[in-house]
Amino acid sequence: MAGKISMGARREVVSAVTERYRSAKRAEKGPILDELCATTGWHRKHAVRALRRREAVGPGEVEATRERRRRYGAMIKDALTALWEASDRVCGKRLKVMIPILLPALEQHGRLQLGQSDRDRVLAISAATIDRLLVDVKIAASGGRRRRAGFYSAIRREVPIRTFNDWNSPVPGFCEVYMVAHGGTSVAGSFIQTLTMVDVATGWTECLPLLTREGSLVVEAINRAQSLFPWLLRGVDFDNDSAFMNDVVVPWCREQKLEVTRSRAYKKNDQAFVEQKNGAVVRRLMGYGRFDGVETARMMGPPLCGGRALRQLLPAVVQAEGEASRGAKVIKRYHLPSTPYERALAHPKVTAAVKKRLRDQYRSLDPVALLAEIRATQEELGNRVDRRAGQARGPQPAHISIPPATFAKTLGKTATAGEPRATHRRTRRPYKTRVRMPSKLDRHIAAIEAWLAEQPQLTAIAIVGRLREKYPEEFGKRQHSIVQRLLRTLRRRAAEWLVAQCTLDDATTAAPLPGVVDGSGYVGPDPPTAPLVEQARKAIWRDRLIDIGSSSVMAPSR
């Protein structure tokens, strides 16, 4: 019945009970609150607040609400705004500590005047109140944009953490999931990502290329990986990437009855099983080049997905068994090297039907044919990376089918020629030292230095204009680049001289006199700033303190 009472009826009940509650003794207020909570359905604390802020009114009058007296008014807010600006807009916790330092300084120089009561309030204000009073000021200072709340952090907090020591020999089906980026030397734009899933119990590894880092694509990849694993997935362990910790991936995994966990931030050992495969599988096959586009993602299928039989049935993997501490020394123990295929056959939780299917797949495996297809795709992927870098080795069609017999003849003969994988990095060619040729600016360096002594901010375009006026048959607009290189060299030498001179001055400065060292006892005039700096810059050029020979001006820096 309490939930069906309207808001107007609740106000009438509170008005009728208020006077009786206020005039009652301490022992009598408890039963009154119990009756009010039973009638209105309110929490006991809410009922206490409602009775305290309501004042009894006569019949037909509007019930008045007692407003809370404000302790900090407009004067305090203006003072906090001035202090916030003077502190370079720091947060409330930092500003709270800085107020006892900033407030006397602003008052001393006449930039803030407060009465004694207001001054005491400003000094006693809390960090939370500072942030609350300056909310609208901060929004206006940021151009009217409110800071976006951390949405993904809320989902991340809901996912439990699982460390490396929390697995405790799980059954097959619990996987660690990670994303490997194929962005090359830049993370700008969109590029292909490889989703890697490793079964903790057996080491079974599945890799799927994704066009972008998106939650819906992650869901599709995990759904596809479910059909590739010989057993059902039971749980996924993600890192703290926003591509996993979002409102698409986490709810979908829970709908599929998958246990969702995550690693600790900046603790890569929590995902040691999948971190091992990033280099041993993904980087070994794909290298570190940049891959993008639908066609490239389709070509990455044979090495990543097509070579899965080689990963599961052939290479032996070492897995950690545990570790023991002897004082400060940690001793790690490992299982004997074995393949994921052998671990799956030896695991008691893997069904007989799955083991039979794995044995049939093992008998029909042709490693040379699979390796030939992988090498051909790697050759095309590496050629794509070279074409993007301007180092194409010639056109080569995709998916060249090499006969296994032909490829088998090359095995063991290409190791002496270097790394055969075309997707791996090329070694850089040694830098060829070039002999500097004479420049037409050599006999004009003195004039250019004189111009810079008078106008240190002179640009290369202005210098080319002056040279063109004096020597129209020799200089034109095309000389802008060489003048710019010369100007860069001159200014770099000037900066080096200035730094060396400042270091020398600091080393030869006499010991300071005893007394105050913070400048508070200085009573002289304000020292000059910008004009003195400008005079020093002109003096550097005018006195010709830079020794620049004509043969070394245009030489490349080592």
Q: With a cut of 50, which residues of the chain have pLDDT below it?
A: 1-3, 56, 62, 392, 394-399, 510, 513-523, 527-533, 544-558
In this predicted structure, what is the pLDDT of residue 154?
A: 81
DSSP for 30-61, written as a single string: HHHHHHHHHHH---HHHHHHHHHHB----TTS
In this predicted structure, what is the pLDDT of residue 557?
A: 41
pTM, 2 dp: 0.54
Rounded CA-CA distance 464/437 in Å is: 20
In this predicted structure, what is the pLDDT of residue 148?
A: 58
Would you state the structure tokens that stand for residue 98, as one six-digit string? 């800085």
| SS3 of the chain: helix, strand, coil, percent, to 5 | 50, 10, 40
The length of the chain in residues reads 558
In this predicted structure, what is the pLDDT of residue 558?
A: 38
DSSP for 156-188, written as a single string: HHHSPB--GGG--SPPTTEEEEEEEE-BTT---
Rounded CA-CA distance 480/400 in Å is: 49
DSSP for 416-427, written as a single string: GGS---TTSPPP
Residue with tokens 């490239």: 296
In this predicted structure, what is the pLDDT of residue 532?
A: 45
In this predicted structure, what is the pLDDT of residue 419?
A: 57
In this predicted structure, what is the pLDDT of residue 248?
A: 92
In this predicted structure, what is the pLDDT of residue 536?
A: 52
The pLDDT tens digits of the residues spanning 333-360 come to 877 888 888 888 989 999 999 999 988 8
Would you state the structure tokens that stand for residue 454, as one six-digit string? 């008078």
Cα dihedral sign, 33-39-42-43: positive
In this predicted structure, what is the pLDDT of residue 123?
A: 94
On whether the CB atoms of residues 464 and 477 are closer than 8 A, the answer is yes
The pLDDT tens digits of the residues spanning 130-160 come to 999 999 998 888 887 766 555 567 888 889 9
Rounded CA-CA distance 41/34 in Å is: 10
